[in-house]
């Protein structure tokens, strides 16, 4: 009988988001995971620790750590979490330039040995880093996707579920736009057990939950003080990885490179997409009110502004 080869998922960056993503992915048992970092010993140590949890948790997939991209060859998916967090005294533009350098370099190395992979970008500023990854890999837009919408909509879902005291599983939401404070949560398309939240909550309360969603990342940073969120981001990445590995064709909000959809051309912006084995299989265009459209275009303009500041 032919031997089955397990698929490989590479996670670049063995920090908080990367290591937690690796944990989530191996716990699905769907693929081997290769954790990569520039720091020697860090990915190896975390991978060893995760491998030693396997007998207790019960996964049979392999997890390894490395500083060498040769070990990532033949990956089905490359998750990019490497980068710097903003340090005191560092401007947003400095962060943009530093992370663009890091993302460009790691993606070029990883894409060269996994030419058929789907790249999932997590490093911030997200939408701009997606651009860098697409350029560095030379991959078509279908195979470069940013993780933001699943996280932003998860936050919105958590807040709505808590507000209405119902299961998070029955709450569905849509959040469009860039991953930043201009994101556009869409209450009309956000439902609880199929009922739009506009029927269930007063507009003012929805507005407060929308604001909390927009500031969701900052709220966590303010509490942690020394870092940013990673449990929810990693869970969001794992959901996308599973959709791709299993060709689930999930409809999930992701950062996708638009070529005219929603009246936006040549930018990565968060929109609903069909996510399957070939990556972004389709951009789903939903009808928007004038106000929602204006919010999306405003958000796209903020993405464009950062994009224009990317080092050439």
Using CB under 6 A as the criterion, which residues of the chain lie in contact with ligand APR when the complex forms? 12-18, 37-39, 42, 81-83, 85, 102, 105-106, 122-124, 227-228, 230, 233
CA pair distance 221, 96, nearest whole angstrom: 19
Decide whether 15 or 65 has the Cβ nearer to ligand APR.
15
List the one residue out of 121, 119, 74, 128 whose CA is nearest residue 98. 128
Spatial distance between the Cα atoms of 149 and 63, rounded to a whole number of angstroms: 27
CB 291 within 8 A of CB 190: no
Cβ distance to ligand APR smaller for residue 93 or 247: 93
The helix (run of H) or strand (run of E) holding residue 255 is strand 250-259
Nearest approach, Cβ of residue 11 and ligand APR (Å): 10
**Of 11 and 300, CB closest to ligand APR:** 11
From residue 138, give the alpha-carbon distance in Å to each of 13, 104, 112, 130, 132. Answer: 21, 11, 10, 12, 10
Least distance between ligand APR and beta carbon 92 (Å): 12
Q: Report helix angle 16-28 to 231-245, nearest 10.
A: 40
> Smaller CB distance to ligand APR: residue 106 or 275?
106
Residue 39 vs 218, nearer CB to ligand APR: 39
User: What is the number of the residue whose Cβ is closest to ligand APR?
Assistant: 15
3-state secondary structure of 178: coil
Selecting among 46, 131, 179, 214, the annotated active-site residue is 179
Q: Tell me, yes or no, if 179 is annotated catalytic.
A: yes
In sequence order, what are the residues at sequence separation of 6 or more whose Cβ sits closer than 8 angstroms to the Cβ of residue 97? 311
Q: What is the dihedral of CA 289, 292, 297, 301, to 10 degrees?
A: 170
- Residues 6+ away with beta carbon under 8 Å from 249: 243, 274, 275, 276, 281
- Residue 269: strand pairing partners: 256
Task: Find the shortest distance in angstroms from Cβ 187 to ligand APR.
Answer: 26
Burial 187-225, CB ≥16 within 10 A → b, else e: bebbbbeeeebeebbeeeebeebbeebbebbeebbeeee
Q: Whole-number minimum distance, CB 228 to ligand APR, in Å?
A: 5
- Rounded to a whole number of angstroms, the minimum distance from the CB of residue 5 to ligand APR is 26
Cβ-contact 48, 19 below 8 angstroms: no
Q: Which of 197/306 has CB closer to ligand APR?
A: 306
Smallest distance, ligand APR to C-beta of residue 200, A: 31
Which are the catalytic amino acids? Answer: 179
């Amino acid at each position: 009988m032919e031997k089955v080869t397990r698929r490989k998922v590479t996670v670049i960056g063995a920090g908080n988001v990367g290591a937690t993503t690796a944990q989530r992915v191996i716990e699905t048992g769907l693929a081997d995971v290769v954790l990569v970092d520039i720091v020697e010993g860090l990915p190896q140590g975390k991978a060893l620790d995760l491998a030693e949890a396997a007998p207790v948790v019960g996964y049979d997939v392999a997890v390894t750590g490395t500083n060498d991209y040769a070990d990532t060859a033949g990956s089905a998916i490359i998750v990019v979490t490497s980068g710097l967090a903003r340090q005191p005294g560092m401007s947003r533009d400095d962060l943009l330039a530093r992370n663009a350098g890091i993302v460009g370099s790691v993606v070029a190395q990883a894409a060269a040995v996994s030419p058929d992979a789907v790249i999932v970008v997590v490093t911030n500023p997200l939408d701009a880093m997606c651009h860098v990854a697409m350029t560095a890999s030379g991959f078509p837009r279908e195979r470069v996707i940013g993780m933001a919408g699943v996280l932003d909509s998860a936050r919105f879902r958590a807040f709505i579920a808590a507000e209405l005291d119902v299961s998070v599983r029955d709450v569905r939401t849509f959040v469009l736009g860039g991953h930043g404070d201009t994101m556009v949560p869409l209450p009309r398309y956000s439902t609880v057990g199929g009922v739009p939240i506009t029927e269930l909550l007063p507009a003012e309360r929805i507005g407060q939950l929308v604001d909390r969603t927009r500031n969701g990342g900052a709220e966590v940073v303010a509490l942690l003080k020394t870092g940013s969120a990673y449990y929810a981001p990693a869970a969001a990445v794992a959901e996308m990885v599973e959709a791709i590995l299993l060709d689930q064709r999930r409809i999930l909000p992701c950062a996708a490179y638009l070529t005219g959809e929603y009246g936006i051309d040549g930018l990565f912006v968060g929109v609903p997409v069909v996510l399957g084995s070939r990556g972004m299989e389709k951009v789903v265009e939903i009808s928007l009110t004038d106000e929602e459209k204006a919010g999306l275009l405003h958000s796209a303009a903020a993405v464009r502004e950062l994009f224009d500041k990317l080092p050439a």
